[in-house]
Structure 1
């Protein structure tokens, strides 16, 4: 792609030591280190779009759409940024500016990366992220690893998938025991 600037996909996940990312309510007991907020602010600050799987979109919509900047500094980002939703079935909610991309299609994601100059931010959306990783479409995989093994729950990397090799780009260690690992393609 000669000279064309293109978007990058940045994935953000709160994850346990055993890979569980489902229902991040368990992260609350560790508190929220202000430096984690700074890291997240850097990730979302350059974002021009949000890409979500249908289930995550349906979970986020009621939670974020009622929040204001006074409730959460991240609210305007989530509510006002254009959202692209991947899923074979239509989401059952409407939320801010959004476009439905239909079932997962790596070509549609590549087109989106070509169209958007800046970061495309993803949170949660495990099924979508697994597809993107398998297709080599993730530029930054930001894992916030908590010092706990959950023992149960949906894991980001499931058994039986092809090996996923990544390259460590940067790390942060926070006072609450959480470690931030930024991985890119190997």
Structure 2
């Protein structure tokens, strides 16, 4: 039995995914939190890029995070699989260094025991795993903002790729939720 691999990215109306804290503003509320909670409930493993792992590791292990923080209680104990070409194999924070091809690694992880697998980013990690077919469903939360600059999840390096919409919704704060999978080739 294969485990489900999902990813969730925030982005602006003009497609910027980098640094969502710069454009989310007041557009993350209870509905968004409930969707995130439901998406993370079946997850037992997290695949994450090095930069985001380093940022989260520093923040979520700090004294600034209370023991009752919902995301902190999720992210701290979960096994993390870190995609990096610069980190060594001796990682802390319940983390394992992904050695070799990340697509092969995720596909092997899918065949193992456990719940769903979430890919937390960053932009390059989600882009490469999704376009290679290692991510089953990608959810994009579009925030009602246009940002002048920043990296896009799907830039000019991504060839024409057809998608299937598997779920959608809109929040009272104006966010649009779009969940896609790769469209099977005919």
How well do the aligned residues superpose, as a CA RMSD in angstroms? 1.9
Q: Which runs of 5+ in 2 are unaligned?
A: none
User: SS in structure 1 opposite 2:76?
Assistant: helix
Cα deviation, residue 105, structure 1: 3.1
Q: Count residues with an aligned counterpart.
A: 181
Residue 84 of structure 1 corresponds to 81
- Runs (4 or more) in structure 1 with deviation over 4 Å come to none
Farther-moved stretch of structure 1 (27-36 vs 133-142): 27-36
TM-score for both structures, normalised by structure 1 = 0.89
Cα deviation, residue 94, structure 1: 4.9
User: SS in structure 2 opposite 1:60?
Assistant: helix
| One of 25, 46, 70 as aligned partner of 2:42 | 46
Residue-by-residue CA offset, 1:107-166 (whole Å, 9 max, x unaligned): 122111111432111223111111112211111101110112212001100113212221
Residue 148 of structure 1 corresponds to 145
1:61 aligns with 2:60: no
Q: Distance in 2 between matches of 1:128 and 1:103?
A: 14
Residue 175 of structure 1 corresponds to 172
Residue 113 of structure 1 corresponds to 110
Residue-by-residue CA offset, 1:56-105 (whole Å, 9 max, x unaligned): 111111111222343x31111100100000111107x9552111013543
Q: Which runs of 5+ in 1 are unaligned?
A: none
Farther-moved stretch of structure 1 (126-135 vs 102-111): 102-111
